[in-house]
Amino acid sequence: MSAEDAAEVADAARTTRGGDAGARVADRLRHEILAGEHAPGTRIRQEDVAERFGASRVPVREALRILENEGLVTLVANTGAWVATLTLAECEEVYQMRERLEPLLLSYSAPHLSPDDLADLAELAERMAATDDLDLFLGLDRKFHLASYRGARTSQLGELVTKLWNTTQPYRRAYTHSIDADARRIMHDEHHLLVSALRDDDLEEAQRVLASHIRRTRRQLSRHPELFTDLGAPR
């Protein structure tokens, strides 16, 4: 056995003894990327991640594979890993997919949302409307929408929607920091309208509000092409 092979075996053994270390590293990197700590196009060096998190090479590689599957990281064979980027055209395509798929996912979820689930959504909508902290708003907004889908019993659609959210998050973050008070008020109104429609068991109205909500963001993003040159590094 070569020295390199022996190191791989030792790494694997440490991962096994330490539990699912790759998932733990992925959790921490995911949080950092979604929080905007690593901009699109930023290189992720395995050795830096291993040193920061006190992990060996095997779990770091596994973490990066997990994040690639989630749409957050791009891996290039024999080259390295980068935070995923989108062009404006790609972002518009993803938003058009969301505009069609998320109302479908909501239709699977809505019949299974309990009164407590709806109360949680209403509380999240109130918290979003009450804060001027845009980073807090973004976290609450993601939690709100994904919580509205928690009742869905699907094998693939839920994971796909989450991946689409992941890929657009950095650009939506930059866009949200640039919008005015009127645009934020419209977003808050749409959140409240969505909760009201769900409480009234009016799925058609809930789907209409949701599709319009996503479409509005897509159209606003299309007016800011500079977000995609400022945030995304050359490929």
Q: Which architecture, in CATH terms, is 3-83?
A: Orthogonal Bundle (1.10)
Please write the tens of the pLDDT for every residue from 188-232: 999 999 999 999 999 999 999 999 999 999 998 998 888 887 665
CA geometry: angle 212, 217, 219, nearest 5 deg? 90
Residue type, 134: L
**Helices 203-222/157-176 angle, 10° precision:** 50
Of the given ranges (74-78, 166-170, 175-179), which has the lowest mean pLDDT? 175-179
> Span 35-43, mean pLDDT?
92
pTM higher than the cut 0.85: no
- Token digits for 155? 């094998």
> Span 50-59, mean pLDDT?
90
Please write the tens of the pLDDT for every residue from 104-154: 999 999 999 999 999 999 999 999 999 999 889 999 999 999 999 999 999
Residue type, 205: E
Where along the chain do the CATH 1.20.120.530 domains lie?
88-231
**Which residue do the tokens 């009201």 mark?**
196
> Span 85-114, mean pLDDT?
97
> Span 157-167, mean pLDDT?
95
Q: Cβ distance 58 to 11 under 8 Å?
A: yes
CATH 1.20.120.530 fits 88-231, yes or no: yes
Q: Are strands 73-76 and 43-44 parallel, antiparallel or unpaired?
A: unpaired
pLDDT for residue 179: 84
Q: Does residue 17 have a pLDDT over 90?
A: no
The three-state secondary structure class of 154 is: coil
What's the rounded Cα separation, in Å, for the pair 62 and 26? 8
Where along the chain do the CATH 1.10.10.10 domains lie?
3-83
pLDDT for residue 26: 95
What's the rounded Cα separation, in Å, for the pair 209 and 207? 6
What's the rounded Cα separation, in Å, for the pair 145 and 121? 8
Element (H, E) at 80: strand 80-83
- Token digits for 162? 């989450």
> Span 32-47, mean pLDDT?
92
What's the rounded Cα separation, in Å, for the pair 95 and 98? 5
More confident residue, 134 or 14: 134
Which one-letter DSSP state was computed for residue 128? Answer: H
